[in-house]
Amino acid sequence: MRLPPARGLITSLLFDRLAGAPGAPFPDARVTGGLDDDDLQLALFACYELHYQGFDEVDDRWEWDLGLLRFRAGLERRFEEALRAAVPGPEPVPPREVRQALTALTSSADGPSVAAFLQRDADLPTFREFVVHRSIYHLKEADPHTWAIPRLSGGPKAALVEIQADEYGGGRRERMHAELFRTTMRGLGLDDAYGAYLHRVPGLTLALSNVMSLFGLHRRLRGALLGHLAAIEMTSSLPSRRCATGLRRLGAGQETARFYDEHVQADAVHEQIAANDMCGGFAAAHPELTGDILYGAACALELERRWAEHVMGCWRRGAGSLLDERVPA
């Protein structure tokens, strides 16, 4: 993956520095913007990406450069401020009530259903556009939540490892969820290279990924990371079924729909493990962090709601939801 074009003053400054050798000083930058700001979210995504696959033309030593870390901290402060403004922290609950509170949160989630639209009404270019958005996370699916494994112990750690083992295909490359998603992309005539569409997606799509990295890379936010994962697992089985149905309605073959078929079954099981064994067990060991668990879940749901409103608003107007023209038929 190569660095995408800059989208403003922050990414222009960042990408200019990353093109050189580590150690170059970072001038103070006034960080503005919110959850949907293209410049802020792309800059933060690029900083986080140095902990994942990196960029072809960026020296790997930038990952732990002190100047860059200070710069990233400023971006993170603004991102966290925007998250707190959008998602007030839920009240802590007794550990025994965490499952019930997570169920209440996920059951009350509102906003337009992208999956229902894809199931019944979307044309093929629109479905491709959806897959382009999702590729930003699904091509590294599970990686952000894996940061929590060394930060847990006992039952919650075992529960998370059980979930992640499925995400990574039980040791078989062809069953890894990221690889299944690549098959879906190829079946739809899309480029399945990691980060191929980074330059196409808006800030809200990047924020969906950035919040996972924020929670995953900070031990203080490990409770929020677990709540985030639980919310994903508790809300993905039915949408996955709808997406699989929509793909078949559009003539896609079994292999193209397999990614979504897999999530119908896997996430129904993962929901129980995540809510009960992982989050419930973590809450019992750390009762002071039950509010963090619920906050992470609430952030996942709110960002998804905002993203759904963006894409559905564009599609209802007959417009593309990406930064330039729609993905061609």
DSSP string, 172-231: -GGGSHHHHHHHHHHHTT---STTTTTTTS-HHHHHHHHHHHHHHH-GGGHHHHHHHHHH
Instruction: For residue 308, tell me if it sits in a domain.
Output: yes
Name the domain boundary from 57, 86, 115: 86
Distance between CA 329 and CA 316 in Å, rounded? 18
Same domain membership, residue 26 and residue 64:
yes
Cβ atoms 28, 82 nearer than 8 A? no
Same domain membership, residue 308 and residue 244:
yes
Q: Would you state the pLDDT for residue 109?
A: 83
Instruction: For residue 263, tell me if it sits in a domain.
Output: yes
Phi-psi map region of 251: left, alpha, beta (phi>0 left; psi -120 to 50 alpha):
left
Mean pLDDT of all residues in 200-225: 98
Tell me the two tokens of residue 134.
Answer: 């999702």
Instruction: For residue 326, tell me if it sits in a domain.
Output: no
In this prediction, residue 329 has a pLDDT band, given cuts at 50, 70 and 90, of very low
In this structure, the number of other CB atoms found within 10 A of the CB of residue 179 comes to: 17
Name the domain boundary from 69, 86, 103: 86
Same domain membership, residue 110 and residue 74:
no
Same domain membership, residue 127 and residue 51:
no
Q: Calculate ∠ Cα 305-311-317, nearest 5°.
A: 130
The residue range of the domain holding 48 is 9-86
Lowest mean pLDDT among 88-92, 163-167, 247-251, 308-312: 88-92
Q: What is the domain-level CATH number for residue 109?
A: 1.20.910.10
Instruction: For residue 329, tell me if it sits in a domain.
Output: no
Same domain membership, residue 18 and residue 133:
no
**What amino acid is encoded at 307 in this protein?**
W
State the sign of the Cα–Cα–Cα–Cα dihedral 154, 220, 14, 46: positive
Structure-token match 């994942």, residue found: 52
Same domain membership, residue 81 and residue 40:
yes
Same domain membership, residue 30 and residue 99:
no
Nearest to 302 by CA among 10, 34, 8, 117: 34
In this prediction, residue 269 has a pLDDT band, given cuts at 50, 70 and 90, of confident
* This prediction's pTM: 0.95
Same domain membership, residue 227 and residue 203:
yes
Is the predicted pLDDT of residue 326 greater than 60, yes or no? no
The structural domain count of the chain equals: 2
Q: Which DSSP state fits 275?
A: I
Cβ atoms 206, 41 nearer than 8 A? yes
Q: What share of the chain has pLDDT > 90, as a percent?
A: 91
Q: Where are the alpha helices (DSSP H) in the chain?
A: 9-18, 38-49, 66-86, 98-107, 114-120, 124-138, 143-146, 154-167, 177-187, 203-217, 222-235, 237-249, 254-272, 281-285, 290-316
Same domain membership, residue 154 and residue 280:
yes
Distance between CA 30 and CA 263 in Å, rounded? 42
Rg (the chain; Cα; Å):
19
Same domain membership, residue 111 and residue 75:
no
Helix axes 237-249, 222-235, angle to 10 degrees: 50
Helix axes 203-217, 124-138, angle to 10 degrees: 20
Distance between CA 210 and CA 220 in Å, rounded? 16
Same domain membership, residue 118 and residue 147:
yes
- pLDDT tens column, 34-46: 999 999 999 999 9
Same domain membership, residue 232 and residue 307:
yes
Mean pLDDT of all residues in 170-196: 97
What b/e sequence results for 199-214 when a residue is b if at least 16 CB atoms lie within 10 Å of its CB, and e otherwise? ebbbbbbbbbbbbbbb
In this prediction, residue 325 has a pLDDT band, given cuts at 50, 70 and 90, of low
Instruction: For residue 309, tell me if it sits in a domain.
Output: yes
Instruction: For residue 200, tell me if it sits in a domain.
Output: yes
Q: Would you state the pLDDT for residue 105?
A: 95
- pLDDT tens column, 136-181: 999 999 999 999 999 999 999 999 999 999 999 999 999 999 999 9
Name the domain boundary from 86, 112, 129: 86
Instruction: For residue 323, tell me if it sits in a domain.
Output: no
List Cβ neighbours of 84 (8 Å cut-off, separation of 6 or more): none
Instruction: For residue 2, tell me if it sits in a domain.
Output: no
Q: Would you state the pLDDT for residue 301?
A: 97
